[in-house]
Structure 1
């Protein structure tokens, strides 16, 4: 999948992509590049659609066959409660595809 019917020139597209990666809002990116905010917002939406398309393709591969699910809590140097009530811990959820990769 690729971006189609985009009237922005290639240089501006590349700069918008850099701003997208740097988590700059579409409105701010438009102001910095001197383009209409709606043009930047449309370009950002197209980038998100491409990302969603590729994630869907990966999901089809991941969820075929047998998989195992598990969650765990990491971090929290403080002693105290264990499990879900523990303060300062990060929840990590993982998928294991049999004879393949681990996804977190």
Structure 2
């Protein structure tokens, strides 16, 4: 991440904890940073992931989308295809 005062080592460790599913509080105690700093770092990682996914999905759904008109009735006897 740009403009972070954390050392590169601590940033890498926070990313490892984020990927492994650790909470920000657990990661903060393991790495030795303030819990609010770890929570903010996790929040920024989520924002970056969201932004990248939105940019990626713009190319996938850029054109017209056609919806299939098939109908399935699950409880009854008739299936409409």
Please give the range of the TM-score, normalised by the shorter of the 2 chains: 0.7 to 0.9
Question: Separation in 2 of the partners of 1:15 and 1:69?
Answer: 45
Richer in helix (by share): 2
TM-score by length of 2: 0.76
| 1:60 CA displacement | 1.0
Equivalent position to 1:56, from 54, 57, 64: 54
Q: Which secondary structure state, in structure 1, belongs to the residue aligned with residue 36 of structure 2?
A: helix
Instruction: For residue 4 of structure 1, report the CA deviation from its aligned partner.
Output: 2.3
Task: Look up the match of 1:10.
Answer: 8
Cα distance, 1:67 vs structure 2: 3.1
Instruction: Count how many residue pairs are aligned between Structure 1 and Structure 2.
Output: 71
Distance 2:11 2:34 in 1: 13
CA distance in 1, matches of 2:15, 2:67: 34
Change (3 A) 1:64 1:32: same
User: Could you list the runs of 4 or more consecutive aligned residues of structure 1 that deviate by over 2 angstroms after TM superposition?
Assistant: 66-70
Higher relative contact order (CA 8 A, sep 6+): 1
Q: Which residue of structure 2 lines up, in the alignment, with residue 67 of structure 1?
A: 65
Output the aligned Cα RMSD: 2.1
- What is the TM-score normalised by the length of structure 1? 0.60
